[in-house]
Amino acid sequence: MLALPLLAVSLALAPPAPADTVSGADVIRMMQARYAGRWYRTATFTQRTIRPNVPVEIWYEALSLPGSLRIDIAPLGDRNVLLFRNDSIYQYAAGELKPGRPFVHPLMLLGFDVYALPPERTIAALTALGYDLTQAHTGTWQDRAVWIVGAAAGDSTSNQFWIDQERLVFVRSLGPHPRKPGVPTEVQFNKYVRLGQGWIETEVLQLEGGAVLLTEEYRDVRAEPALDPAIFLPGPYRAPGWVKE
């Protein structure tokens, strides 16, 4: 096992701070320190993607932390791919690479990259996304204690994310819809299971105005598979390699 840096050890073992003295930045530092050197760096899983009134899709997903997520949409022979790499998103349609565009994936950042990046980089990225990391308070979600970062107590409309206090994993986000004024959005990471020395959600819900618009169900989850780094590079289409239909 890799040795933890001294700062990470002190943060991981120190007694919990009083709730009224913890900031959102502190929560990010606690998350990184808890799993420093132990969180998986690669993972794969198969996802059932469910939307109302749309046939269920199968997505094959591969992670390489920090910063890379590849989604191959079945059937693989159609060569339709979404690729998130660092702070950009790319798309392949029938194997043809479309122009990329800047995009910081907040769920990738909060659910995975936070454990692989220096905490100050995560803090800067979340601040740029509109989260007020000076704000944090305690609450309860699904009968578990959480940190609520980005909003004052009683505020359910500001950009905010919720972190399980015991496991130090992301469980919920709330915020205004970027294109529909007055419509709240919500994401839930549910049904966590152990993966390696970390965790992974096996259900994701995305809601608008309280209605579920997208459900993701994971299966065949694997930690630390050997993945060809080239599959995460935008360029000529490459088959994912780790999965066959």
Tokens of 101: 């565009």
Q: pLDDT digits over 73-131, tens only? A: 999 999 999 999 999 999 999 999 999 999 999 999 999 999 999 999 999 999 999 99
Q: 60, 243 in Cβ contact below 8 A?
A: yes
Confidence of residue 236 (pLDDT cuts 50, 70, 90): very high
For residue 232, the one-letter residue type is F
Provide the percentage of residues in the chain whose pLDDT is more than 90.
87
Work out the mean pLDDT of the chain and round it to a whole number.
92
pLDDT above 50: residue 7: no
Q: pTM for the full model? A: 0.90
pLDDT (mean) for 202-228: 97
Q: pLDDT digits over 155-181, tens only? A: 999 999 999 999 999 999 999 988 888
Three-point CA angle 201, 207, 208, nearest 5°: 160
Tokens of 79: 């060569």
Q: What pLDDT is stored for residue 20 in this prediction?
A: 63
Confidence of residue 223 (pLDDT cuts 50, 70, 90): very high
pLDDT (mean) for 3-15: 39
Domain parsing of the chain, residue ranges: 6-39+48-66+106-222
How far is it, in rounded angstroms, from Cα 214 to Cα 49?
Answer: 7
DSSP 77-144: GG-EEEEEETTEEEEEETTEEPPPEE---HHHHHHTGGGTS-HHHHHHHHHHTT--TT-EEEEEETTE
Query: Is the Cα torsion angle 74, 102, 168, 4 positive or negative in sign?
Result: positive
State the DSSP code for 145.
Answer: E
Q: What pLDDT is stored for residue 126 in this prediction?
A: 97
DSSP 176-210: E-SSSTT-EEEEEEES-EEETTEEE-SEEEEEETT
Confidence of residue 34 (pLDDT cuts 50, 70, 90): very high
Residue the block writes with tokens 């990010």 = 28
**107: Cα separation from own chain's centroid:** 3
pLDDT above 50: residue 8: no
